[in-house]
Chain A
Amino acid sequence: MTLRDALAHPWLTVRTQIALGLFFVVAALPKIADPPGFAHMVYNYKMLPGPLVNAMALVLPWAELLMGVALIAGIWRKTAAALVGVLLVVFIAAISFNLLRGNAIDCGCFDVTAANLTREQRFRDMWMVILRDVGMLVLVAQGLLGASRVEEEGEASAI
């Protein structure tokens, strides 16, 4: 068994996708429960035009929830994994941009209440969030690799 075979093994792929899906479901629920709190978090990023802040705060958590459920249930899992990857890249870019311009924010990833941290603590947390999201991107890559392998095997068996 090659390394690529091991990394794309269905046993690992299924567990990776379930873990990713659970992450996103758990992240979505507090935001769905408290849209004004999440709108406050989105506003604090200072990256969206005012009229789009509430729309983003309403739609993004449901998108996260649906992607998470799709990954856990194995429905459209390659599409869901790819979209999760896109979201993670956007999150990393948004946090990095605010780090660069010195805007200390709570990320609003799993909790929509202000953490009452100092600016220094917030900056440290932002770095940790970037590291965590990069780690999740690795999971996404594994999920996509595994899903591609399943598709290849399916096409080969059809031929």
Chain B
Amino acid sequence: MNLRRFLAEAGALAALAIACALVSNAFAAKERRLELPGDYPAAFSVARPPAPVPFEPASAPAAAEPAAPAPAPAPAPVAGAEPKRPVVDRAPAPAPQERPSASPASPSVPDRAAELLARFPAHGQPSVEITGDAAAWLHARGALFLDARRSKDFAEGHVAGARSFPIWEAAVVKERVEALVAEGRDNTLPVVLYCTGGDCEDSHMLAQTLFGAGFENLLVYRDGFPDWKARGGAVAAGRGR
């Protein structure tokens, strides 16, 4: 085969493929659009599943008591995709239940926020991993849950009250991060992020994005939605917020 002819035909096929890719991406819906160039700081890092972290509930019930003045030790900080374990030192985890959305006008919000901060003070790192028991404890106290999975997975089922922040749908997640920042939330309050557990990195990637937007207390639910369902946590379906 003539090499020149091969190179010309291969070049034409490649050029046509690039043109088709650029045109289709330009006209794609925002859920399907990719940003060029991509931004993946850990593109070469092979994540290893961390060892299970035992949850050690303290004896004192914390569900109804006011904020403890003595702060819990800060959860261990995390570097990139190799997070260390959080320190969870009090409060047994109540059974997960459907919670009312945390309204800024609710009179219980200050107490609840203080309780959350007493247990999970801002750590100032991109993320800290937490167990399912800790996630259930946070859910019962109205902590914000963000789902990093794709929007179609979120619509099929998610932690009740969670919001969809599909990290792989860059245009969508950018809008939602901006909207979240515009809400003027206290950036030191715990925010729980989850995906599908195991070696899923989506929640860590979302944590990096939110950390860059100023959030200082991002907690990654290590075992994610499969664990939440397995432990009988409250689940909702639909597109949600």
Contact = CB atoms under 8 A, between A and B. Distances in A.
Nearest to A63: B17
Interface string A24-61: 00000000111111011001001111111111011101
B81 to A, nearest CB: 11
A103 interface: yes
Contacts of B31: 36
B234 interface: no
A64 B199 CA distance: 29
A59 B169 contact: no
A67 B224 CA distance: 40
A70 B37 contact: no
Contact of B34 (A36, A62, A66, A119): A36
Contacts of B35: 54
B103 interface: no
B27 interface: no
A46 B48 CA distance: 13
Interface residues of A, number: 44
Nearest to A116: B196
A36 B21 contact: no
A6 to B, nearest CB: 22
B206 to A, nearest CB: 13
B235 to A, nearest CB: 16
Interface residues of B, number: 41
A39 B168 contact: yes
B13 A54 contact: no
A50 B196 contact: no
Interface stretch (B38-46, B89-97, B118-126, B136-144): B38-46
B135 to A, nearest CB: 20
Interface stretch (A9-17, A72-80, A88-96, A125-133): A72-80
A52 B35 CA distance: 11
A46 B37 contact: no
Contacts of B102: none
B6 A51 contact: no
A151 B169 CA distance: 47
Contact of B16 (A46, A66, A83, A114): A66
A46 B44 contact: yes
Given A46-B43, A63-B17, A104-B199, A53 B10 contact: no
Contact of A79 (B10, B18, B32): B10
B155 interface: no
A63 B14 contact: yes
A37 B25 CA distance: 14
B60 interface: no
Most buried by A among B45, B46, B150, B170: B46
A57 B34 contact: yes
Contact of A148 (B1, B5, B33): B1
Give the most central of B38, B39, B170, B226: most A CB within 10 Å.
B38
Given A36-B168, A36-B169, A54 B38 contact: yes
A50 B10 contact: no
Contact of B38 (A47, A50, A65, A114): A50
Nearest to A48: B43
Interface of B: 1, 5-6, 9-10, 13-14, 16-18, 20-22, 24-25, 28, 31-46, 150, 166, 168-170, 196, 199-200, 226
14 contacts: A33-B32, A35-B25, A37-B150, A46-B46, A50-B43, A54-B37, A55-B36, A57-B34, A58-B25, A62-B18, A70-B13, A79-B6, A103-B46, A116-B226
Interface of A: 32-37, 39-40, 43, 46-55, 57-59, 61-63, 65-67, 70, 76, 78-80, 82-83, 101-104, 114, 116, 119, 148, 151
